[in-house]
Chains A and B, each alone.
Chain A
Amino acid sequence: MDPIYLDNNATTRVFPEVVQEMLPFFTEQFGNASSIHAFGEEVGSAMRTARRAVQALIGAEHDHEIIFTSGGTESNNAAIRSALAANPARNELITSAVEHPAILSLADWLEKHEGVVVHRIPVDGKGRLDIDAYRAALGPKTALVSFMWANNETGTIFPVDGLADLAHDAGALFHTDAVQAAGKVPIDLKSTEIDMLSLSSHKLHGPKGLGALYLRKGTRFRPLLRGGHQERGRRGGTENAPAIIGLGKAAEMTLATMAQDLPRIEALRNRLENGIVQKVGHCFITGDTRDRLPNTSTIAFEYIEGEAILMLLNKQGIAASSGSACTSGSLEPSHVLRAMDIPFTAAHGAIRFSLSRETTEAEIDRVIDAVPAIIDQLRDMSPFWSTEGGVAAFNPEYA
């Protein structure tokens, strides 16, 4: 039985066309784009095409607003550190409680070691931002606001457009981590006030180890990596040309079929959710079902634990992921689900299915068929579950 990959928010398969596009740049057109000879020239020209493809994907006004980086994490680090360094009179950072660790662990560090005041805006039970708390946190000391465009675990979308306007009203810069959003929602930066945006190549069928930072023309910038004059002096280091060209191709392909792909992916995701929720009791969909990435579904199954579900799914060739503590090596469940106050009865059993444009209806139907038996099997073993469908009496010695 062919394996079914529903973990596309973790990473995606590189499109074969992308690999084909990249290959000549390893062994034939291997030059350094900074060189003056023909070898360098060919690479420089291919990179320009790639830059324009990324520009088109996110609706940037100018191609030089795109800076290639080593990935989403570097883009996030560069954006946050630049905004703080470029505005020495302001030392406050506003972000949310549900950001990716690429933002949160940096924020923790800055707070602890570099005197930055960090505001972590909470979310409600559906993962929606507390806008009143955000307004209240904004002030004359705010250097940067950084909110993710879409959440990696639940898919919940933040209204970044309006959030950016509020930041500008307070004289602060606005950055968005769009690693999950790029390619999954239409993005048109030139019609927004967003100053900086991070994206990652491997989340949209490009190669790993490459990302991009959008930097609006005129935005003050301090490089994270100082070195040569690459990327107009904004990111030192010889460009990863094959990967850049791969990202360009992936962006071009994603944009070309986005209008047809997104509704189809969303319909498959809804089919999956309806199929599972109808067949399995005591489970619910997390996140804001009215404003969510079309490919993401996190379903919380009560009274069982996520790693056990994943292992049984994996045995049937189905790859998904979990916000459960046990899979990550941490002992507590996902910070996103905890910020949403998802009860512990369910947070440990939350499973994320993330689709791609390669997902088929037959695959979704196979998952719908497989899940109920897996859940039943684990619930039969759970001391919190009784066959009457209720919760068994449980009096542990150490609880």
Chain B
Amino acid sequence: MWEYSEKVKDHFFNPRNAGAMEDANAVGEVGSLSCGDALKLMLKVNPETDIIEDAKFQTFGCGSAIASSSALTELVIGKTIDEARALTNQDIAEFLDGLPPEKMHCSVMGQEALTAAVAAWKGEELEEDDHEEGALICKCFAVDAGMIERAIRTNKLTTLEMVTFYTKAGGGCSSCREPLEELLSDVNAAMVAEGVIAAADAFVFGAAPVAPPPQKKTTGFVIPDMPPDPPATAAPEPIAIQPIRVKPATAAKLPPAPAPETATSPKGLSLAQETIAIARIIEEMRPIFQADGGDVILMDVDGNKVSVEMTGACAGCQIASLTLGGLRKRIRDELERDFIVVPAPKN
């Protein structure tokens, strides 16, 4: 169990201002069911004075998410919109006498909901709202660059692990590690220039060794630190078949090529012919993925293993688990032999 402060426990067991508000005039909503936590912040703002006269929350999430939401409402009631806007996730965490590092994202969620509610009151468009090309960094948890940069700056984050603890970005399939490293490196460099952090503390992109992403713990087993990966000798070539979009091979990330299996197609197809057929099946199924706001790209076919890259809303989780099975069945039915379909690159 987490070591929560007495204040966190108090705000979880006796949440303040929980429930719906009928006459809210500024609402901010963040998170989703698939991501595991969500917060709807409702404010009643006096139009004359801009003072937040009442606040309520509805939260789906763990103990610290509920406590952070409760703390947020206590913090904003009585403040003007501009005073509330100045609040950071640190203020929420401090109000609760601290949160475990792994749970800091709960305070960030509170701050994000507040930002959304303030923007709604002011009638502003959120810049993060449009998810322009490249803005969405972590597809698993739908975290965009703007939110990550705010978390890095507010909390002076300098490691990838802490970025994940505060924003959840990179905590799913971890395929966004590279852009995440770049972003952290850029923001840290700017912070060094501004004199906010020391140059020695700044994260520098490409500076070895890079801390591994937090290991997934599933049922309480602690996975020991592992030595760095040996350099991959031969990365599998991506298969260039139009009109499938092929991502450049990320050589360092792909596992070393396993010994190619001698695949025996019951239909007498060569591996290349099978690959073309798989590419066609994936192309046919792409509209299904796209309808869900995602996409699927064929990365590799090796023996009976079809590697695909999943993108879009909650790639690592929802769409992947729901539809890879369907994709596999289609491939299996068409080619009359068993294939496994795996999201790649994992790790």
Using an 8 Å CB-CB cutoff, how does the interface string of B145-184 with A read, 1 for contact, 0 for none?
A: 0010000000000000000100010011000000000000
Binds A, one of B23-31, B197-205, B270-278: B23-31
Whether B62 lies near A308 (C-beta < 8 A) is yes
Chain B residues numbered 305-347 whose CB sits less than 8 Å from any CB in chain A: 313, 316-318, 321-322, 325, 328, 337-338, 340, 347
A225 at the interface (CB under 8 A from B): no
Whether A117 lies near B259 (C-beta < 8 A) is yes
Whether B219 lies near A396 (C-beta < 8 A) is no
Whether A381 lies near B28 (C-beta < 8 A) is no
Known A344-B317, A381-B19: A394·B338 in contact at CB below 8 Å: no
Whether A381 lies near B59 (C-beta < 8 A) is yes
CB-defined contacts of B328 to chain A, threshold 8 Å: 122
Contact partner, A396, options B29, B64, B259, B338, Cβ 8 Å: B29
Whether B255 lies near A111 (C-beta < 8 A) is yes
Whether A383 lies near B338 (C-beta < 8 A) is no
Known A382-B58, A397-B116: A331·B141 in contact at CB below 8 Å: yes
Using an 8 Å CB-CB cutoff, how does the interface string of B22-55 with A read, 1 for contact, 0 for none?
A: 0000001111111111111000000000000000
Whether A328 lies near B33 (C-beta < 8 A) is no
Residue of B nearest to A381 (CB): B18
Whether B318 lies near A344 (C-beta < 8 A) is yes
Q: How many of chain A's residues touch chain B, expressed as a range?
A: 35 or more
CB-defined contacts of A102 to chain B, threshold 8 Å: 221
B144 at the interface (CB under 8 A from A): yes
CB-defined contacts of A345 to chain B, threshold 8 Å: 33
A100 at the interface (CB under 8 A from B): yes
Whether A307 lies near B63 (C-beta < 8 A) is yes
CB-defined contacts of B221 to chain A, threshold 8 Å: 73, 100-102, 105
Whether A305 lies near B62 (C-beta < 8 A) is yes
CA A334 – CA B59 in complex, angstroms?
21
Contact partner, B62, options A326, A334, A399, Cβ 8 Å: A326
Contact partner, B60, options A104, A137, A305, A325, Cβ 8 Å: A305
Contact partner, B38, options A101, A132, A327, A396, Cβ 8 Å: A396
Most buried by B among A311, A324, A326, A331: A331
Chain B residues numbered 194-252 whose CB sits less than 8 Å from any CB in chain A: 214, 216-221, 223, 226, 229-230
Using an 8 Å CB-CB cutoff, how does the interface string of B261-275 with A read, 1 for contact, 0 for none?
A: 100000000000000
Known A101-B221, A381-B19, A383-B39: A398·B65 in contact at CB below 8 Å: no
Known A133-B338, A308-B63, A329-B217: A344·B33 in contact at CB below 8 Å: yes
Most buried by B among A117, A120, A305, A334: A305
Whether B223 lies near A101 (C-beta < 8 A) is yes
Whether B60 lies near A304 (C-beta < 8 A) is yes
Whether A136 lies near B338 (C-beta < 8 A) is yes
A335 at the interface (CB under 8 A from B): yes
Chain A residues numbered 329-387 whose CB sits less than 8 Å from any CB in chain B: 329-335, 338-339, 341, 344-345, 348, 380-384
CB-defined contacts of A315 to chain B, threshold 8 Å: 13
Chain B interface residue count, CB cutoff 8 Å, equals 75
Whether B38 lies near A325 (C-beta < 8 A) is no
CB-defined contacts of B219 to chain A, threshold 8 Å: 100-101, 152-153, 328, 334
B66 at the interface (CB under 8 A from A): yes
Known A117-B259, A398-B144: A137·B317 in contact at CB below 8 Å: no
B41 to chain A, nearest CB (A): 10
Known A101-B223, A330-B171, A396-B32: A305·B65 in contact at CB below 8 Å: yes
Residue of B nearest to A395 (CB): B29
CB-defined contacts of A324 to chain B, threshold 8 Å: 36, 62
Whether A331 lies near B168 (C-beta < 8 A) is yes
Whether B258 lies near A111 (C-beta < 8 A) is yes
Contact partner, A329, options B102, B126, B316, B338, Cβ 8 Å: B102
Contact partner, A399, options B32, B65, B126, B168, Cβ 8 Å: B32
Residue of A nearest to B322 (CB): A341
Residue of B nearest to A135 (CB): B338
Whether A380 lies near B18 (C-beta < 8 A) is yes
Contact partner, A339, options B33, B141, B321, Cβ 8 Å: B321
A282 at the interface (CB under 8 A from B): no
B295 at the interface (CB under 8 A from A): no
CB-defined contacts of B28 to chain A, threshold 8 Å: 397
Whether B316 lies near A394 (C-beta < 8 A) is no
Most buried by B among A91, A119, A133, A325: A325
Name 25 interchain pairs, CB-CB below 8 A, sorted by A.
A101-B217, A101-B221, A105-B221, A120-B340, A122-B340, A307-B63, A308-B12, A326-B36, A326-B61, A327-B1, A328-B219, A329-B217, A332-B171, A338-B317, A341-B322, A348-B60, A383-B38, A383-B58, A383-B59, A384-B38, A384-B60, A394-B40, A396-B29, A396-B31, A396-B38
Further 13 A-B residue pairs, CB within 8 A, beyond A117-B261, A308-B63: A305-B62, A312-B13, A331-B168, A331-B171, A331-B172, A338-B317, A348-B36, A381-B19, A384-B60, A396-B30, A396-B40, A398-B31, A398-B143
Q: Which residues of A does B touch, CB under 8 Å? A: 10, 73, 91, 100-102, 104-105, 109, 111-113, 115, 117, 119-120, 122, 132-133, 136-137, 141, 152-153, 303-308, 311-312, 314-315, 324-335, 338-339, 341, 344-345, 348, 380-384, 394-399
Closest 8 CB pairs of A and B: A136-B338, A326-B62, A331-B171, A399-B32, A307-B62, A383-B58, A383-B40, A344-B34
